[in-house]
Structure formats: structure tokens, C-alpha cells
Amino acid sequence: MTFEQQKRLEDTYVMHTFGRKPVELVRGEGMRVWDDAGREYLDFIGGIGVISLGHCHPALTGALTEQAQRLMHVSNYYYIEGRGELSKRLSDLLNMQASDAEPWQTFFANSGAEANECAIKLARLYARRQAESEGSAARPRLIVTLERSFHGRTLATLAATAQPVKQEAFQPLPDGFMATPANDVSALERLFDEVGAEVAGLLIEPVQGECGVYPCTDEFLQAARRLCTQNGALLMFDEVQCGMYRCGTYPFAFQHTGVVPDVVTMAKGIAGGMPMGACSAPAHIAAVFEPGIHGSTFGGSNLAIAAANAVLDTVAAEGIAENAETVGAYLRGRLSELPHVTEVRGKGLMVAADLADGFDAFAITLDALDQGLLLNATGLHTLRFLPPLVCKREDVDALIERLAALL
């Protein structure tokens, strides 16, 4: 089937929820993908931060093939191979800087939005159980998020996503959500002074991704930890985009800050391209979930578990975390050298570059196709880079050469 035929079919039969670029991708390997005409592209969006090991890494495709030939899905009514091992591995990674801490327990979902839905429900239920145990009539249910945040597109996670432009079409949204400015400690303190008794949880992306890669400061995250502890609220970190070694060195972005949350959500790169999400919490918090109170038909399937275990095996075996750290620093340095780039932000291989007035980042992502680049824009003047974590310096050099021509 030709590209034009495929395009006509999608235009006719697929809902128009994405503005697709005029290219049909059919094959991938490492940092590179090819279209139906055989043209090669360097991939600097990585499936929006999903392709952690690079396209079609043999360890991942091998694990999926082997698992698919044995058992693909049986539901969560049964024990399966690998899920307990993966859960322990995640607990160990979350406790990397505190090996004597209690185990973390994980609920497996299919996406970041589902992982965040789980975190929201967990925070409200935990607050309810705490109030009941204390004989209090109060039922804290407020979830506080940050302005410009992004937590998903279900109704609840959209209500948590403090971007009015994404919310307006779907009003009325579920209530019980409030936003505060990122990195404004005084505003956060005022909020807790006013409504602290009503707060069940504070949900934060340690590095905000969809609005243009803005890291939270250590000072702000430390204040968030202090205020949540003082008010009995859960501090929840959305690591859907910034986790799973995306920020380099450590598995999770919060481990770069010294601040330990009560709940962590993850997805995207955790299974290298296989749909998967997860919500983890220390055992004493997770214990409020009982059989029947939350669930997922497909979450934690045989295939997803096999994929995630293969990703973690390969990250360790091939030094991918260290690569994300060093190549990420190199990428930020090279981007800052480009003409018309006014600011570069990020950690590891989660990077944004702001362009001077007069440059349209969305138009540049289209022009980049002619240069053999897959790029992403998060705003009129902002390019975002989420390449596979196997990205090399020579890939960055090729990006910079082609991007310089575009600018």
C-alpha cells in the first residue's frame, strides 16, 4: 500500500486527534527509522520518550518474541512469571539511596495517565483511612498540582493538568484539584496555610516535560516534602516522562534532588515501546488498596512484564544510564552553541531549546523531515529532544549540523 493510500484510509477512518506529519515510518534500528520510501531519519523524539533502548533492540524484541510464543495474557486473577521479580527490582531502584527502607509495592497499568489515576485514588483513599483511624470526620480529598503540568488525558488526570487550553473543551471536569506555580515556595506555603487540612496529595513532575522541559528546583521540592509531611498529605512524583533513566545516572529524577516522595508514577520508557505504566508506594501506604478496590484488565500483562525486565537488564548491562548523563550534557552544550537558540534546559536526555522570536518551532519540525530528522515542538519557540537513551555523540553532531542549516 502506498503512503497516499494509507493517508487516505487514516484520514477517513481514524479520529483526528493528532496532526500527523507527512511521513509513514515502517522500520527502525537504534537511533534511526526509515519511511516507506526507504528514507532514513535520526529520531530525536523517541516515541515521546518511550524508546529507551533504541528502536528494535534485540534484547527487547527477543524477550517479547519468546514470551509471545509461550503466553501473552491471562489477567490479574493469576500469578505470572516475572511480575514479582520486576516489582522487587522497582522497589530496589526506588530505594537505591536508602537500602534499609521498607519495600515499595507497585500497581501495573498501561499508560502514564492510568498510573496517575492510581496515584490520585491512592492519595484520597489513604487520607480517608488516616482520618477514620484518628476518629476524624474530615475527609481530605484535594489534589494539588503545578501550573503548566501535564498528567494525562483522562478526565481526572486532565483536571490535574493545570493547562486551561487543554481543559476547556471538556468542562465540567472532576473537582478536587488546585494548582500552584512551580518553583514558588512562598505560594506553596500560602496554599498549605489556607487549605492544608484539605490536601490529600501534592502531585509534581520533578521535570515538567510537556510545557517545555522545566526542572523543579531542589529548594521547591524540599519545601513540598516538608509541607506534605507537616500536613499529612502524600507527596507524589509523576516520573512518567522524566523517570526510567531519562535524566541520566539514576533511575528516577527525584534521586538527583535528595527528596524522597511517598508515591512515584512511571510509564513511557519503562518497557521500551510496549505499553506499560506503574504506580509505586511504600508498603504501609499501598496497604490501603485491597482486592476489588482498583484494577486493570491488561495492566502487568505477560508481555509488558517481559519487556520491562528486558529493558532493566539491558540498561544495566550496556551502561545506558551513564550514556544518558554524558551524551545529554554534550547535547545541551552543542545546542547552546547554535545561532538563534536563546536558552537550553533539561537533565540527561530530556532537553529543550528555546528559539529567538521569528522562528516557528512547529514549522521547523516539518522542515526537519527534509533534513532526515524527527523533532518535536512543545510551543511556538520551543524544541524538545527525547532521543533514545542509546544516543551517541556522533548522533548529536549530525543533529546540530542539520539543525544549524534549518536555523
Instruction: Please give the positions annotated as active site.
Output: 150, 238, 268
**At CA 31, angle to CA 30 and CA 34, rounded to 5?**
90
Unique residue bearing C-alpha cell 521569528:
358
Phi, psi values for residue 209, rounded to 5°: -95, -55
- Phi–psi pair at 83, nearest 5 degrees: -70, -40
Give dist(CA 52, CA 30) in Å, integer: 10
